[in-house]
Amino acid sequence: MTTKTATMKDSPIIESRDQLIASFARGEKPAERWRIGTEHEKFVYRTADHRAPAWDEAGGIRDLLVDLQRHGWQPVEENGNLIALTGTDGSVSLEPAGQFELSGAPLENLHQTCAETGRHLRQVKEAGERLGLGFLGLGMWPDKARAELPIMPKGRYAIMLRHMPRVGTMGLDMMLRTCTIQVNLDYASEADMAKKFRVGLALQPLATALFANSPFTEGKPNGFLSYRSHIWSDTDPARTGMLPFVFEDGFGYERYADYMLDVPMYFVYRDGRYIDAAGLSFRDFLKGELSVLPGEKPTLDDWNDHLSTAFPEVRLKTFLEMRGADGGPWNRICALPAFWVGLLYDGGALDAAWDLVKDWDIVDRQALRDAVPKRGLDAPLPGGGRLADIAGQVLDIAHAGLSARARTNAAGDDETGFLDPLREVVRSGKVPAQRLLDAYSGDWQGDISRVYAEASF
């Protein structure tokens, strides 16, 4: 989730709905300026006993943030508490129960992305060796109950933890027990944004299947391949889902702005603190009628904060966020941006991907999304067959898109090799979760503690 590292002191007051719509247009960039931003989360645990460390304990999360500053990271505090870092590789931040996230810098190619990932993982592993901490690459805590997990001292999380049980049964699980990989990508125009948004939503279930990596809950198989994805089905229906309106004729910035105006608020940030506005209306805020700030109108900064509080499968800010993948190991962190860059950053690949999904209707897309958390690549495909039947074809399209980009490293390798972990999933027919389940019922003999050796960085 977003960590607030700065506030615009002179952020413009929003006087009209048109300013909200214009905020998306400011994200438009010509293709030569398109960048790749990759985010990945991991669970932090004590190597001695696999316990999740608290923020303020000796050798805990705060000390991990302090240790990383030896690499040039700069501290970010909230109410005197160290809660994030900023640097040339983006920002390091904390999810609600201490899940550790790198939000990478906007980079030109996937070679840079994987190098950035490698730098970060080496830094945290070195710090972990000094502090007795390890890092787990899964989509969900495999053995922790909610009550066993610490809470990080961030104001927005306190508000969300209070609000989540009012609107769904699994919101607290989303906050406390899950990890994801995400990629943020650019668009050239409103039409380009809309096409990428549609392809991203339609094929998000395939990304979820290929990266499915959360088959355990509290030490036992949970009946799902991506329980993390299932959790989103009952987190908060007002701010999650497959957004059917994106596929309607005329979809663009205005329609997404209207959607966001209907998403209930969480908070307003003022003078270094978060004011609880959970369930209130941003439309009322626009009119100066927000009950917790009577007479005050929102700023552009408030709108940007609000955009970060919706969690659909694809999210629009001044870029598009692909949000469907479980957390996983180093090579799959690099594979997710390869998948989406290959599909969305080349015109021919984007057209081919759209041709593959354009005839799916609302019912088809939702049915596929609903089936994937349990069935993975065996989920029924619209029109018949299984999701596995198109997985190789989609990877071929992504491969062609990456090949056309022709972004090479010093050795002359292009970006297509980053798809190899996904090729292996399709070749074997087994998503990552299925391999973990095989190990659990085989070599591990039901001992969930073995997952720490298997899935740690």
Computed over every residue of the chain, the mean pLDDT equals 97
- Tell me, yes or no, whether 338 lies in a domain: yes
- 3-state helix, strand, coil split of the chain in percent (to 5) is 45, 15, 35
Which amino acid, one-letter code, is at 52? A
What's the confidence (pLDDT) of residue 362? 97
What's the confidence (pLDDT) of residue 10? 82
Residue 184 DSSP label: E
Residue 133 sits at φ, ψ, to 5 deg, of -120, 145
- Tell me, yes or no, whether 456 lies in a domain: no
6 pLDDT more than 60: no
CATH number of the domain within which 182 lies: 3.30.590.20
Give first-to-last CA distance, the chain, whole Å: 22
* Neighbour-count burial of 381, counting CB atoms closer than 10 A to its CB (0-12 exposed, 13-18 middle, 19+ buried): buried
Mean pLDDT value across residues 49-59 = 98
The interaxial angle of helices 190-210 and 347-357, nearest 10 deg, is 70
- Tell me, yes or no, whether 452 lies in a domain: no
Query: Per residue in 92-151, pLDDT tens?
Result: 999 999 999 999 999 999 999 999 999 999 999 999 999 999 999 999 999 999 999 999
Query: Per residue in 204-227, pLDDT tens?
Result: 999 999 999 999 999 999 999 999
Query: Per residue in 313-367, pLDDT tens?
Result: 999 999 999 999 999 999 999 999 999 999 999 999 999 999 999 999 999 999 9
Q: What is the pTM of this model?
A: 0.97
Residue 234 DSSP label: G
- The domain of 367 spans 17-446
Integer Cα distance of 37 and 109 in angstroms:
10
Two tokens, residue 385 = 């067959």
- Tell me, yes or no, whether 182 lies in a domain: yes
- Tell me, yes or no, whether 4 lies in a domain: no
- Tell me, yes or no, whether 414 lies in a domain: yes
- Tell me, yes or no, whether 453 lies in a domain: no
CA 133 to chain CA mean position, Å: 24
What is the pairing mode between strands 180-185 and 74-78? unpaired
7 pLDDT more than 60: no
* Neighbour-count burial of 240, counting CB atoms closer than 10 A to its CB (0-12 exposed, 13-18 middle, 19+ buried): buried
- Tell me, yes or no, whether 416 lies in a domain: yes
What's the confidence (pLDDT) of residue 5? 53
Number of structural domains (the chain) is: 1
